[in-house]
Amino acid sequence: MREHLWSGVAKLLLAAGLVWMGHGLARAAGPEASAAPASGPVPVAALFQQHCAACHGEQRTGGMGPALLPESLERLRPAQAQQVIAQGRPATQMPAFGQTLSAREIEALSTWIRQPVSPAPTWSEADIRASRLEVAGARDLPDRPVWSADPMNLFVVVEGGDHHVSLVDGDRFEPIHRFASRYALHGGPKFTPEGRYVFFGSRDGWITKYDLWNLTVVAEVRAGLNMRNVAVSGDGKWVMAANYLPRNLALFDADLKLVKSFDAATLDGKSASRVSAVYDAAPRKSFVVAMKDIPEVWEISYDPKAEPIHDGYVHDYPMGEAIAKPGYLGARRTLLDEPLDDFFFDQGYRNVLGATRAKDDDTPTAQVVNLDIRKKIAELPIAGMPHLGSGITFGWQGTTVLASPNLKDGRIDVIDMKTWRTVTTITTPGPGFFMRSHEASRYAWTDSMMSPTARDTLTIIDKQTLQPVASVREPGRTLAHIEFTRDGRHALASLWEMDGALIVYDARTFQEVRRLPMSKPVGKYNVWNKITRSEGTSH
């Protein structure tokens, strides 16, 4: 049965790729293009049409291959782009052009794909609906796992090296299954409340719904051309995508059928924005959205009983003054002085804690935004470049504190969430990206992966003394992204290399327990910790 489903998926993906290519892309590449002259300009547009458009689309918006747009390639360095063109990409349909194109042509192509497309590509609601794929028979699959392990202690591991996902038994630390993913999955996968389905979002706009119990893709849809992340509602009924291109939000039902889109723009429509992030605030029955280019935070309620929305100020709410908009699936705006790059919630989901990106030579700041009164209530005394999207909160001496990694400095600022004042600053070997803990563990783990000299080190911090107590290293290699098992007894780290591994540590003794070879495992996610919103993991 599963083999039949995978065959169906492959045919659907092939058909979908041809749809994206359009009429002009259906033709074969034909004979090899003539080599560019040794001097003078390289006919780069013609080279792209000859060698690349059939998979990546005439407007570079993607097809069978990923989108090749500046927004999609911001993390791919020029040298890496040239390497991919010359050598291909293992375990994908990307061929090597090193024997077909000269070094000068490859360099020209790698530069050209980083330039904006003119005219700018578009992606409409009709395009979204036309892109949707559903696997026949998936609705009739068994409602229990076909594998033998605790489904609540399952790890979903995203392998960025060859664009695969591995499922790992969190008790025995053994692989259960491995399957190919879309290109460049971004943001953590999101689960339905019973843990059966997981939704992946790719940088080039695809959302994939995967049945973990039956090991098969269920449905896919392309929400945009360049997507930031996806969120799944606490009741599992809604999926929302945050897009850079087009500048909007797309709301789907659980079957990935488009319900509506929201233009990411100011109320007067004069300014549009990329969407920084969208996260589910399950206790509030809403999605919370940060905008990258306009100083607004939105809350979109999926509660049918949501209060009406009054944009701007009104004299008397009980008297019903001003014209109200429906609160259900409507955007409730909080206006700020500066945009938020990323954010996370306090434990009560009343406050958003977000980093404000720097302008020119200004120092980045962080702020607290109360979603109930819809205004900023505090500035966070965090220097450098806090990565609050990977921050954690935990209890300490009768209060709750937050701790956040820092992309610029080797420091962890610990902030009292009652007074919003600094409790202490913990020094680490270098700037880091991820920090994780577990409510059953005394320790928090943080990396220094942004440091050229300490990227190989994980620092372990005692949450009671707020002091580093140990570290683990992989000399000369990148070690990052801790996630705990369901019971908090083991901590799993990513050896973030092409010939990398998933490394399992005893969370009390910090000794290595097991090592599973993997291809650049960029992140791992425990089903139980994610669906219960564990205090030590990202939500």
Q: Domains along the chain?
A: 44-113 (1.10.760.10)
Residue 34 pLDDT > 80:
no
pLDDT of residue 318: 54
Q: How far apart are CA 71 and CA 78, in angstroms?
A: 14
- Find out whether 204 and 225 touch, Cβ atoms under 8 Å: yes
Residue 360 pLDDT > 50:
no
Residue 73 pLDDT > 90:
no
Nearest to 250 by CA among 124, 109, 116, 152: 124
Nearest to 292 by CA among 342, 226, 346: 342
The model's confidence at residue 184, banded by pLDDT at 50, 70 and 90, is confident
pLDDT of residue 24: 32
The model's confidence at residue 64, banded by pLDDT at 50, 70 and 90, is low
Encoded tokens for 510:
């910090």
Q: How many CB atoms lie within 10 A of CB 83?
A: 16
pLDDT of residue 55: 84
What is the mean pLDDT of the segment spanning 421-432?
95
What is the mean pLDDT of the segment spanning 347-361?
79
pLDDT of residue 321: 53
**pLDDT per residue over 253-307, tens digit each?**
999 999 999 999 999 999 999 999 999 999 999 999 999 999 999 999 999 999 9
Q: How far apart are CA 251 and CA 269, in angstroms?
A: 20
State whether residue 307 is helix, strand or coil: coil
pLDDT of residue 313: 55
Encoded tokens for 251:
């709301």
Residue 310 pLDDT > 60:
yes
Higher pLDDT pick, 400 / 118: 400
pLDDT of residue 268: 93
pLDDT of residue 62: 77
What is the mean pLDDT of the segment spanning 314-333?
75
Residue 38 pLDDT > 70:
no
- Residue 2 phi, psi dihedral angles, 5° rounding: -65, -40
Encoded tokens for 21:
């290519």
Residue 244 pLDDT > 70:
yes
Q: How far apart are CA 371 and CA 520, in angstroms?
A: 38
**pLDDT per residue over 442-486, tens digit each?**
999 999 999 999 999 999 999 999 999 999 999 999 999 999 999
pLDDT of residue 443: 98
Instruction: Report which secondary-structure segment, H or E, holds 261.
Output: strand 258-263
Length reported for the chain: 539
What is the mean pLDDT of the segment spanning 216-222?
97
The model's confidence at residue 54, banded by pLDDT at 50, 70 and 90, is confident
This prediction has a pTM of 0.84
Q: How far apart are CA 367 and CA 343, in angstroms?
A: 9
pLDDT of residue 69: 84
Nearest to 96 by CA among 85, 104, 107, 106: 85
- Find out whether 537 and 436 touch, Cβ atoms under 8 Å: yes
What is the mean pLDDT of the segment spanning 26-45?
57
Average confidence score pLDDT of the chain: 88
